[in-house]
Amino acid sequence: MTDNKAEKAWLRRRGRATRRRLSAQARRAAARKVAAWAPDIARLAGRGTVSCFFSFGDELDTAPLIGELVRRGSPLALPVVTGRGQPLTFRRWQPGDPMGRGAFGIREPLETAPVAEPRVVLVPLLLYDRRGYRIGYGGGYYDRTLAAARADRKIAAIGLAFSAQEIGRVPTDRYDQPVDWVLTERGLMECAGGARAAHLPW
């Protein structure tokens, strides 16, 4: 195990502990404040698709944000794990669509749902820094996904988190992909390691 792997494993435990300490009231307030950014996310996506995700465990509750995006008529997709070591696939989704259970028991669209290429990807994380580098869950799914998407087209990656999950510096490896922004209850932070808004084509 490399030093980075050991440090990241320790940071994952720290990130989970940080989220567990947050009160129910703080969680609800954070979810509402993040949801207020739905118009900006929809504007960034334009006519393109927004990839969202259903919260799992102690993650920031994405339900209010998803609800606001639905009300604005934004086309949505959800990530689907296709195999270990593989990038995620995104499939179209809207409320009421039939769903199944995928990896880790997370709800996901059925294989019959159309594949999408999202313009905006909302990314879960455990910890993050101001460069946009993140500690995820260790599977590398989003790193592979963002690398593949960025090689093919322009996308915007937005990490969703509580502000308490910020740390000074995330240890990185060559395959780590930073997000462009991090959205917390304190607002939208542009990250030094990600693409600048001026570089995006919409």
What would the pLDDT profile of 45-79 be if each residue is shown by its tens digit?
999 999 999 998 899 999 999 999 999 999 999 99
- What is residue 1's predicted lDDT score, i.e. its pLDDT? 40
Q: What is the pTM of this model?
A: 0.92
Residues making up the annotated binding site for substrate are 59
> Average pLDDT for residues 117-146, to the nearest whole number?
94
Question: Looking at the predicted structure, is the pLDDT value of residue 197 above 70?
Answer: no
Residue 20 is predicted with a pLDDT of 95
Report the domain count for the chain: 1
pLDDT computed for residue 103 by the predictor: 72
| Residue 5 confidence (pLDDT) | 84
**Closest by alpha carbon to 41, among 153, 146, 157, 150?**
157
Please state the residue numbers annotated as binding site for ATP.
8-12, 134-142
Instruction: Decide if pLDDT at 196 tops 60.
Output: no
Annotated binding site: 8-12, 59, 134-142
Q: Is the pLDDT of residue 199 over 60?
A: no
Closest residue by Cα to residue 120 from 202, 199, 21: 202
Structural domain span for residue 21 = 3-199
**Closest C-alpha among 192, 82, 177, 83 to residue 136:** 177
CATH number at residue 118: 3.40.50.10420
**Among 48-57, 72-81, 95-104, 128-137, which stretch is predicted with the lowest mean pLDDT?**
95-104
